[in-house]
Amino acid sequence: MKNVYILGECMVELSRTGDGLLKQSYAGDVYNTAVYLKRAFDDFNVNFFTAVGEDSLSDDMVAAFETEGVNTEMVQRSKDKAPGLYMISVDEQGERSFSYWRSDSAARQIMQFVSAENVGYLCMGDLFFFSGISLAVIAPNERDIFWQLLRKLKDSGVRIAFDPNYRARMWSDKTEAKIQFERAFRLSDVVLPGIDDLSQLYGFTEFNKIQDFCSAFGIEELVVKNGPDSVCCIRNGEFNEVAIKPVQQVVDTTSAGDSFNGVYLGARMSGVEVVEAVNLAAAAAGEVIQHPGAIAPKDAFEQAIRPLVDQSVAVAS
């Protein structure tokens, strides 16, 4: 059984319903990735390494992880903190905006739980996945613990995957983000940026520029997502541009990149070739964006994606 560890934060999500009420759910970039990876590859052990509180909302959140089949053995409990929260507002033009209450969340303390025992578990993983948001959430004075951990995982032979997922408001300035991201690039085997991440941070708008820049970091597999346009990948010098079939009825693009990441990584770990893995990941993201919110209904997602995954995995093995 493949063993995946995913580091980051899940938040309580509040969205308004038409009748003036609030709907509560749970989401966060790497958590979304964990959910879609598990839904598409049921035989994987997908572990979420995060911290929540000891309050009842945290209990409900952990119960939601379990409902999704995400392994909660690495979910840590902070004694004095609670989960972060965000609220989605939609204006009259249908534009979404987000308000966050996450600056003092339990997940910020996650590095305090990097014990010898937990490092031992993480070192047994086949893959460790984190994002630029996971990095931004770690308290700055505890970042060294993270980099030592990542180096240890790498030295233990764990495959490392990273999505920069740049969010300007989570960093004091671009330089701070760049320093952290470039450390991540250097230690990662697989990097999955959205083109927007790299254009905002470095001004790159073309794959060639991104490729040149990334070549200095020794990344084995670079997969650059560009919305409905295409996905460009380079693995060990072999370049592929994969066209995306645009979805006609886009309802909500939240979590497009996250679901793409989960299914791409699962497919690659199952022996599926890069281009086919992109096709599966794009099918998953294409399904997710036809539903509101970060987490699409389980049945609809599984019915659309599982048969495709099963077929590709059967061909690959």
Which residues contribute to the site for ligand ADP (CB under 6 A)? 194, 196, 225-228, 231, 244, 246-247, 250, 253, 256-257, 260, 282, 285-286, 289
Closest separation between CB of residue 9 and ligand ADP, Å?
17
Q: Between 84 and 132, whose beta carbon lies closer to ligand ADP? A: 132
Residue nearest to ligand ADP (CB): 257
Q: Between 149 and 197, whose beta carbon lies closer to ligand ADP? A: 197
Q: Between 45 and 253, whose beta carbon lies closer to ligand ADP? A: 253
Is 29 noted as a catalytic residue in this protein? no
Q: Between 28 and 53, whose beta carbon lies closer to ligand ADP? A: 28
Which has the closest alpha carbon to 277: 308, 239, 245, 236? 308
Which has the closest alpha carbon to 317: 261, 258, 276? 276
The amino acid at 94: G
| Rg, C-alpha atoms of the chain | 18
- The token pair at 141 is 């004075």
Block residue for tokens 């997969």: 223
Q: Between 145 and 247, whose beta carbon lies closer to ligand ADP? A: 247
Of 29, 163, 197, 258, catalytic? 258
Closest separation between CB of residue 181 and ligand ADP, Å?
14
Closest separation between CB of residue 246 and ligand ADP, Å?
4
C-alpha distance from residue 200 to each of 165, 167, 178, 240, 241 (Å): 11, 9, 11, 24, 22
Q: How many CB atoms lie within 10 A of CB 172?
A: 8
Q: Between 54 and 229, whose beta carbon lies closer to ligand ADP? A: 229
Residues labelled catalytic: 258
